[in-house]
Amino acid sequence: MDDAHKILCPYCRAELEEGAAGCPHCKRSFEGRNPAGALPVGTLLAGRYTVGEMLSLDGEGILYRGVENRGRFRVTIKEYFPITLSAERGSDWQLRPKPGSEVLLKTTRMDFADLYRSIQRITPATGLEAVLDVVEANNTVYAVLENPGGIPLDQWLDKQKKNVPPEAACAMLQPVFNGVAAMHQVGLVHRGICPENIRVLDNGRARLTGYATIGLRTAGSGLHGQLYEGYSAPEQYSAVEFEGRYTDVYSLSAVFYRMVCGQSPVPAAQRLVTDSNLGARTVNPAVPAYVSEALDLGLQLEPARRIQTVPQLGRALSSPQAAEEEARTLHAAGRRLQREKKPALSLTAILTGILILLAVLTLLTLWGLLGRVGQPEEPPASSQASSAPSAVTVNYVPDFVGMTYSQIQTNRQYAGIYLFYVTEEYSDSAPVGTVLTQEPAAGTAITEGENPTIRLVISKGPQMVEMPNTIGFTQEGAIHELESRGLVPSCFMVVNDGSYASGCVVACSVEPGTMVEAGSTIVVYIAADRDVQITTTPETADPAGQGESQDGDPEQTPAE
């Protein structure tokens, strides 16, 4: 069958003609499976993916089950379709804006595409759900995601029926911590970290899902927002508050709190009114004091008093010494913040002070004039006063990591205080011009007037390499060739009707000769043995009757 017109049944993955109303193999009908406005089951997307049933709908778009037709493996497909900005679409499935929403829809659609392309560059080598493809069609954007398997963390915790020891929670969440740190390194903030968006795999490790643009995860943004009570940070409840890496620190701390305490923290919006959230050790006395202290620092309502980065949080949760150091640093920062927030003097007090000052100056002037009669001249008082020591002002080195060098150059405050020494390095994750590291570190104290030199390492962007032609290579040979060029092979077995040599490469996701980023994931399709047949029946493919099967099907075989 011509691949350009081939779809797979999203239930049993048998081959069908494009436009089929149902599957003769598993006897499932496609008509009426998805609600009006969603893509119909069986839609061919980008000539490569078959759309299945709708899984969920949020203010940003629609999540579908799907199948990658060439490799015969299951995927999920996120369609950008913001309900507050989109008009009802017709039979051509084109996304159209509501009157007056044209510009906002266009800019948010670009944000959606940029988000998933950025995540595609840093997956699947982290604890993040991998983005396999980003497709533009129907006047909108589709993100094709891996199907990670496993179950959501909230369901996993309900089945455990007991609290998770902090050491086990650290081990389970470590891939998620790594993945969120990788997002932060390229300037992304997840904003939706919660047990619902973390999946626990069969090996007990966790993987983070649920990506979204800032609009979906911030109240009052124009999209129909999606916040998670107990896990969303307080700054997400206002469109005028700035969000940063510390926003995800709050959510990760809340997830950890849920795992070790058996309950979620009090929702941030409620805490802003009356903070009644109990310390982790109060809820569960088995929690070590340093873990409870670290969680308290991670769940601070004011971002300036909160642990600032995910690596710092991870260290504080696993080391008493690191937790103590974070507490000492943040308590000092809190005292500075308190001094800066001292209430201003009232207008009456200011006027009274001015009057007193004027009276004192008048008396001193008269005294000086009377005392000068018949007395030799003395040096001006200002010359004596100038020799008095002045107060020393201490500044703290800002956190430049994650900023662009152009932002630093155009900031007059930075230019007036610091001298910058810049070097460049390739980076697979950080955009061109982004600061990778700095020396001295953020928070280092300096005396005003020192003009210290800040050494910055700036990203040159990803190193580009040429995609080799691996068609006909053995799986081992293709892996070696791709890895020698700094590419990451991801191999899948495809059904072989005898047209290909078993165990050899029949296609790749990138055409030979294409320039790609070093570190990019290349999907490599390996021909299976000829005697491997499609044996999945409707019952084994979907025992629950809802297309839930994810693992163990012969056609969906990652090549090990």
Is there a domain that residue 194 lies in? Answer: yes
Q: Are strands 198-200 and 445-447 parallel, antiparallel or unpaired?
A: unpaired
pLDDT at 177 (0 to 100): 96
Both 123 and 18 in one domain: the answer is: yes
Alpha-carbon distance values, 506 to 53, 139, 471, 490 (Å): 30, 32, 6, 14
pLDDT at 344 (0 to 100): 46
CATH number of the domain encompassing residue 440: 3.30.10.20
Q: For 7, what's the count of Cα atoms within 13 Å in the CB-facing half-sphere?
A: 23
Burial of 269 (0-12, 13-18, 19+ CB in 10 A): middle
pLDDT at 54 (0 to 100): 95
Structure tokens at 508: 């790749």
**CB neighbour list of residue 317: distance below 8 Å, 6 or more residues apart:** 166, 170, 256, 291, 294, 295, 323
Residue 517, beta-bridge partner list = 464
Mean pLDDT, range 184-188, rounded to an integer? 90
Q: Are strands 131-137 and 140-146 parallel, antiparallel or unpaired?
A: antiparallel
Both 335 and 290 in one domain: the answer is: yes
Both 99 and 9 in one domain: the answer is: yes
Percentage of the residues of the chain whose pLDDT score is greater than 70: 82
Both 189 and 331 in one domain: the answer is: yes
Structure tokens at 418: 């610091």
Q: What residues make up the domain containing 474?
A: 464-558
Burial of 192 (0-12, 13-18, 19+ CB in 10 A): buried
More confident residue, 343 or 316: 316
Is there a domain that residue 470 lies in? Answer: yes
pLDDT at 551 (0 to 100): 40
Both 64 and 162 in one domain: the answer is: no
With H, G, I as helix, E, B as strand and everything else as coil, classify residue 73: strand
Mean pLDDT, range 445-472, rounded to an integer? 83
d(CA 278, CA 272): 14
Among candidate residues 119, 262, 137, 130, the one with its CA nearest the CA of residue 182: 119
Q: For 481, what's the count of Cα atoms within 13 Å in the CB-facing half-sphere?
A: 18
Both 201 and 221 in one domain: the answer is: yes
Taking only the tens place, the pLDDT of each residue in 397-443 is 888 998 888 888 778 777 667 888 888 888 767 788 889 999 988 88
Sign of CA dihedral 362, 366, 369, 372: negative
Last residue of a domain, which of 415, 438, 459?
459
Is there a domain that residue 387 lies in? Answer: no
pLDDT at 203 (0 to 100): 85
Alpha-carbon distance values, 360 to 266, 353, 551 (Å): 55, 11, 86
Task: Answer for the pair 103, 36: CB distance below 8 angstroms, yes or no.
Answer: no
With H, G, I as helix, E, B as strand and everything else as coil, classify residue 548: coil
Both 157 and 249 in one domain: the answer is: yes
More confident residue, 42 or 549: 42
Put the strands of the sheet holding 151-152 in their side by side order.
Answer: 151-152, 198-200, 206-208
Quick check: 237 pLDDT over 90? no
pLDDT at 204 (0 to 100): 87
Both 186 and 212 in one domain: the answer is: yes
Structure tokens at 536: 């999945």
Taking only the tens place, the pLDDT of each residue in 58-115 is 888 999 999 999 888 899 999 999 988 898 888 889 999 999 989 888 988 999 999 9
Is there a domain that residue 201 lies in? Answer: yes
CATH number of the domain encompassing residue 72: 3.30.200.20
pLDDT at 144 (0 to 100): 96
The structure's pTM equals: 0.63
Is there a domain that residue 430 lies in? Answer: yes
In the chain, how many domains are there?
A: 4
Burial of 301 (0-12, 13-18, 19+ CB in 10 A): middle
Both 202 and 91 in one domain: the answer is: no
Both 206 and 89 in one domain: the answer is: no
Quick check: 248 pLDDT over 90? yes
Among candidate residues 54, 62, 306, 104, the one with its CA nearest the CA of residue 215: 104
Expressed in angstroms, the distance from the first to the final Cα of the chain is 28
**Triad 333, 401, 312: Cα angle to 5°:** 50
Last residue of a domain, which of 459, 486, 513?
459
Task: Answer for the pair 291, 166: CB distance below 8 angstroms, yes or no.
Answer: yes
Structure tokens at 462: 């990803």
Amino acid at 180: V
CATH number of the domain encompassing residue 261: 1.10.510.10
Is there a domain that residue 389 lies in? Answer: no
pLDDT at 67 (0 to 100): 94
Both 192 and 81 in one domain: the answer is: no
Q: How confident is the model at residue 356 (pLDDT cuts 50, 70, 90)?
A: confident
Both 168 and 130 in one domain: the answer is: no
d(CA 227, CA 268): 11
Amino acid at 124: P
Last residue of a domain, which of 459, 479, 514?
459
Is there a domain that residue 372 lies in? Answer: no
Is there a domain that residue 519 lies in? Answer: yes
